[in-house]
Amino acid sequence: MEKLLEFARRARGDAYIAVKFRGDDWRFLPITNGGDLVVRPDDLGNAYTLEQLINKYMSKSLTEFLK
């Protein structure tokens, strides 16, 4: 987890993990701190679908990524 956060920090991006439970679509959880992570199906209420995640970044202008 620490390496993912370090990569995101250096790339000036956000860190996410992808989670898929049986019978469900992929969900993407934002990661903000290191350490152990346990994901339960109830935690997916805070997760993005792939479409939501793409829309989050596609709605930003290119200059926002250069800050």
pLDDT of residue 23: 85
pLDDT of residue 61: 65
Digit-coded pLDDT (tens) for 1-40: 889 999 999 999 999 999 998 888 899 998 888 777 788 8
Rounded distance between C-alpha atoms, residue 1 and residue 32, angstroms: 10
pLDDT of residue 60: 65
Segment holding 59, helix H or strand E: none
Q: Sketch the domain layout of the chain as residue ranges.
A: 2-65
Look at residues 22, 19, 20, 21 and name the one whose alpha carbon lies nearest to residue 30: 19
Q: Supply the pTM of this predicted model.
A: 0.72
pLDDT of residue 65: 66
pLDDT of residue 1: 83
| Contact present, 28 and 16 (Cβ < 8 Å) | yes
